[in-house]
Structures are given as C-alpha cells and as structure tokens.
Amino acid sequence: MDYEPKSAIVTGSAQGIGKAIAVKLAERGLNIVVSDILYDEAKKTAMEIEQSGVKALAVKTDVSNAQDVKALVDTTKEAFGSVDVLVNNAGITRDNLSMRLSESDWDLVLAVNLKGSFLCAQAASKIMMKQKYGRIVNISSVSGILGTAGQANYASSKAGVIALTKALARELAGRNITVNAIAPGFIVTEMTDKLADNVKEEYITQIPLGRAGTPLDVANVVDFLISPAASYVTGIVISVSGGMVM
C-alpha cells in the first residue's frame, strides 16, 4: 500500500505542463524519462532535472507511433528497472470551426491526444501488470467535459481520454494499477501563448478563482495521484480549472 514509485515516463515533457510534472516527480525522488517529439528541448529539460539528484533520460517519441512508444517503454525499463508511473501529457490543438475543420487536422489531433494515450498506456501497462503496480495519469481537458466551440477535434479527443481512463481503470485495477485523469482549465503555457489577448481575457472572466492556472497547479495534482495517499483512487477525473468545471 505504501510503495513509493521509483520511475516515471512523462510524455510531452520538454516544456509546459509536462515539464512541470517531470520536475515535480523528480523532487519526489523518481527517475524521469522526458519523452517529447522535440528532442533538443527534451535533452535540456532532462539535464535540468538531473540537477535535483535523480536520473533523467530524454527520449524522442511521437506518441502516435506504436514503434516509438514501444522503444520508449523498453528504454525506460532498461534504464531504470521498472515503469512505475506513466503520465500521458503529450497533446496538440488544431483549432477551427467544424465547418472549416480539415479531415487531416481531425485525424492528427485524435492520433496524438487519444491514440497516443492509448498506445502509451497499453505498452506501459504490459510491464506494470507484471510488476503488480502502476500509476497512470492521463491529461484530459475541461474541453473534453464542456465541449469548446472551435475545438471539435480537441474536445472529442479529450472526452475520449476520459472514457479511456475509466475503461483502463476497470481493466487494470486487479493488478494494483490505478488510472486517473486530470482536466486542466486555462493554464499558461506555450500552447495557450498562441491565443489572442482578447481570447485569453475572455477565458479568465469564466474562471471563478479569477486567474489562469500554472503548470505547477496541474503538477501538484499529478503528484498526489501517484502518491501512496491516493492508492484507493482510480477511474476519476479531477478538474484543475479554478472552478471552470465543478
């Protein structure tokens, strides 16, 4: 019950929310695999993390590619001896109104956000099942709960991530693997930097706590979900949105 995890894969962790999660889990003493499609940035993040005294490895991964994902999980097992934690954080947006949304932007967002989470969970859980221990945290979004105009592809992918979380939680519970999701609201990162100032201001007016979130706000909840304190928590979605969703 009190097992402290020793190793974590955080996808999309070269920057943004994923980086904050990787740093937070390193502070807890976990060895970290910084997995991202951006290899140079991932290497920089891994070097920063090593300064906290744990081991960190950068692995270039496209989470929508099954071969990359297998290599990611095999490398982690080889380097650290176990795959205790998986955080499915890699995600992209390709926003447009449905009338104008291209088929390729639909396919790409679903492939990275939803299929990528599935492939990583499938590969990691093969090892976690043998270990009879695992913690999987999927990063969804309030868009996947509320639906957001202009994000039919993204909202659908993130709703899918919530259903995936629940299905996996039921399938893996018997092997002491918990699977939970976090639905962040409006968090300041490279992803949200792209939004126009008036769109950002509009988001903030919808947040009861009156401010945008930080990557650390999300990382703190991941830290709880992978801790022994959360060993009886599985299949849930925690909204980290300043009250946008309650």
Active-site residue (options: 3, 39, 133, 154): 154
On whether the CB atoms of residues 152 and 204 are closer than 8 A, the answer is: no
Smallest separation (angstroms) from ligand NAP to the CB of 91 = 2
Distance CA 220, CA 215 (A): 9
Phi and psi angles of residue 5, each rounded to the nearest 5 degrees, phi first: -65, 150
Kindly state the tokens that stand for 6.
């020793």
Size of interface with ligand NAP, in residues (CB under 6 A) = 29
Contact status: 37 vs ligand NAP (CB under 6 A): yes
Whole-Å CA distances, 79 to 7, 75, 195: 10, 6, 39
- Binding segment for ligand NAP (CB under 6 A), chosen from 2-10, 13-21, 46-54, 96-104, is 13-21
Smallest separation (angstroms) from ligand NAP to the CB of 133 = 25
Active-site residue flag, 154:
yes
Q: How many CB atoms lie within 10 A of CB 43?
A: 18
- What residues numbered 173-212 form the site for ligand NAP, per CB under 6 A? 184, 186-187, 189-192
Orientation of helix 116-131 relative to helix 152-172, angle to 10°: 10
Contact status: 139 vs ligand NAP (CB under 6 A): yes
Smallest separation (angstroms) from ligand NAP to the CB of 210 = 16
Contact status: 64 vs ligand NAP (CB under 6 A): yes
3-state secondary structure of 187: strand
- Binding segment for ligand NAP (CB under 6 A), chosen from 14-22, 78-86, 124-132, 166-174, is 14-22
Smallest separation (angstroms) from ligand NAP to the CB of 167 = 19
Instruction: Identify the CA nearest to 140 among candidates 91, 88, 183.
Output: 183
Which alpha helices (H) appear in 53-177, and where do they start and end? 66-80, 103-109, 116-131, 143-146, 152-172
Q: Which residues are catalytic?
A: 154
> Which residues are near ligand NAP by CB under 6 A?
11-12, 14-18, 36-38, 61-64, 89-92, 112, 116, 139, 141, 184, 186-187, 189-192
